[in-house]
């Protein structure tokens, strides 16, 4: 009886993955046909997908509604949340905040999302930008090393880089900048 249950469960997973693959193929074919037939569709792709900042998380949320999600949560599991950061002092720095005397030597993410930038930014130093699934873009800067690559999907509280006593944070949504406290209250 257990074997039958496991076999049906495996078929369910295979069905989910095949559905997702088929939907991806349909979207790709419709895009290719649309761009080759209609110049308006071609211009739309050039303007909003190739030249503009593509909203990965909006597409991911849309795609998940259509095809379902592949993430499975373990039974009897609950998320563990600790304070994001322990530090001695902070100050405003450009569009964000700079934290001094940080107790940990690593930085964890505030929310899950897609890594849209890894590299050096003017005045910010080594930076990782994550387009969060909650609509916020979060910049983690002044990092010594990074543990993520562009287009990685990261979960909340995942380690993304190492620091040495200080680092910075810029939180933005709809061209408005937030402090960490404002961000927590906005959720």
Top pLDDT among 88 and 15 is at: 88
Instruction: Looking at mean pLDDT, say which of 59-63, 69-73, 100-104, 126-130 comes out highest.
Output: 126-130
Could you give phi then psi for residue 140, rounded to 5 degrees? Answer: -110, 115
CB 92 within 8 A of CB 73: no
pLDDT digits (tens, 9 = 90+) for 38-86: 888 888 777 766 665 556 656 666 666 666 655 544 443 333 334 466 7
Among 72-81, 91-100, 108-117, 118-127, which stretch is predicted with the lowest mean pLDDT?
A: 72-81
| Position 5 confidence tier, pLDDT thresholds 50, 70, 90 | very low
By C-alpha distance, which of 58, 184, 85, 61 is closest to 140?
85
Protein fold of 89-186: Glucose Permease (Domain IIA) (2.70.70)
Quick: pLDDT tens for 12-47: 667 777 777 888 788 888 888 888 888 888 887 777
Domain ranges of the chain: 2-52, 89-186
What is the rounded distance in angstroms from the CA atom of residue 58 to the CA atom of residue 136? 11
Using pLDDT thresholds of 50, 70 and 90, give the confidence band for residue 169: very high
Q: From start to end of 23-164, where are the E strands? A: 89-93, 96-100, 106-108, 113-121, 125-132, 137-141, 145-146, 153-154, 159-162
Q: How far is the C-alpha of 149 from the C-alpha of 124, rounded, in Å?
A: 18
């Amino acid at each position: 009886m257990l074997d039958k249950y496991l076999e049906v469960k495996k078929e369910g997973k295979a069905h989910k993955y095949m559905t997702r693959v088929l939907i991806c193929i349909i979207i790709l074919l419709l895009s290719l046909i649309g761009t080759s037939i209609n110049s308006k569709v071609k211009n739309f792709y050039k303007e909003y997908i190739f030249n503009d900042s593509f909203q990965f998380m909006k597409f991911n949320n849309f795609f998940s509604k259509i095809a379902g999600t592949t993430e499975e949560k373990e039974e009897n599991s609950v998320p563990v949340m600790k304070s994001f950061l322990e530090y001695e002092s902070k100050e405003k720095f450009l569009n964000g905040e700079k934290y001094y005397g940080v107790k940990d030597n690593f930085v964890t993410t505030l929310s899950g999302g897609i890594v849209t930038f890894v590299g050096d930014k003017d005045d910010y130093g080594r930076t990782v930008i994550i387009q969060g699934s909650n609509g916020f873009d979060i910049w983690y800067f002044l990092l010594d090393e990074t543990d993520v690559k562009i287009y990685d999907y990261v979960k909340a509280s995942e380690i993304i880089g190492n620091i040495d006593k200080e680092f910075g944070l810029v939180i933005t949504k709809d061209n408005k900048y937030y402090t960490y406290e404002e961000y927590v209250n906005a959720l």
